Amino acid sequence: MSSDAVAREVKRRRTFAIISHPDAGKSTMTEALALHARMISEAGAIHGKAGRKSTVSDWMEMEKARGISVSSTALQFNYSGEHSDDDLPNVINLVDTPGHADFSEDTYRVLTAVDAAVMLIDAAKGLEPQTLKLFQVCRHRGIPVITVINKWDRPGQSPLELIDEITERIGLTPTPLYFPVGIAGDFRGLLDRRTGQYIHFTRTAGGAKVAPEEIMDSDDALAREGDEWTAAVEESELLTEMGQDHDQELFLAGQTSPMIFASAMLNFGVRQLLETLVELAPPPAGRLDVDGTVREVTDPFSAVVFKVQAGMDASHRDRLAYMRIVSGEFERGMVVTHAQTGKPFATKYAQAVFGRDRSTVDVAFPGDVVGLVNATALAPGDTLYVERKVQFPPIPSFAPEHFSSLRVNTADKYKQFRKAMDQLDSEGVVQVLRNDLRGDASPVLAAVGPMQFEVVTARMKSEFNVDTTIEPLGYSLARRTDVASAPELDRQRGVEVFTRSDGALLALFSDKWRLQYIEKEHPDLTLEPLVATAD
Q: Is 289 annotated as a binding residue?
A: no
Of all residues in the chain, what percent are helix, strand and coil, respectively (each to 5)? Answer: 30, 30, 45
Which is nearest to 324 in space by CA: 292, 276, 285? 285
* Strand pairing report for 145-150 and 116-122: parallel
* Residues 27, 98, 424, 384, Cα dihedral to 10°: 90
Q: Is 230 helix (H, G, I), strand (E, B) or coil?
A: helix
Question: How far does the chain reach from its first CA to its final CA, in angstroms?
Answer: 43
- The amino acid that residue 301 corresponds to is F
Asked if 351 and 333 touch (Cβ cutoff 8 Å), the reply is: no
199, β-bridge pairs? 190, 215
State how far the alpha carbon of 293 is from the alpha carbons of 210, 287, 296, 367, in Å.
45, 8, 9, 19
Asked if 427 and 437 touch (Cβ cutoff 8 Å), the reply is: no
- CA 302, distance to chain mean position in Å, is 21
Q: Count CB-CB contacts under 10 A for residue 265.
A: 19
Backbone angles phi, psi at 510, to 5 degrees: -65, -35
Q: Is 30 annotated as a binding residue?
A: no
Q: Is 286 annotated as a binding residue?
A: no
Cβ burial, residue 279 (10 Å; 0-12/13-18/19+)? middle
DSSP code of residue 83? T
Cβ burial, residue 166 (10 Å; 0-12/13-18/19+)? buried
Rounded to 5°, angle at Cα 267 from 279 and 256: 40
Which is nearest to 90 in space by CA: 115, 56, 54? 115
DSSP code of residue 25? S
Q: Is 98 annotated as a binding residue?
A: yes
Asked if 529 and 399 touch (Cβ cutoff 8 Å), the reply is: yes
Asked if 415 and 464 touch (Cβ cutoff 8 Å), the reply is: no
Q: Is 9 helix (H, G, I), strand (E, B) or coil?
A: helix
Cβ burial, residue 69 (10 Å; 0-12/13-18/19+)? buried
Q: Is 182 annotated as a binding residue?
A: no
Distance in angstroms (rounded) separating the CA atoms of residues 117 and 100: 17
Cβ burial, residue 231 (10 Å; 0-12/13-18/19+)? middle
Q: Is 259 helix (H, G, I), strand (E, B) or coil?
A: strand
Q: Which residues are annotated as a binding site for GTP?
A: 96-100
Q: Which residues are annotated as a binding site?
A: 96-100
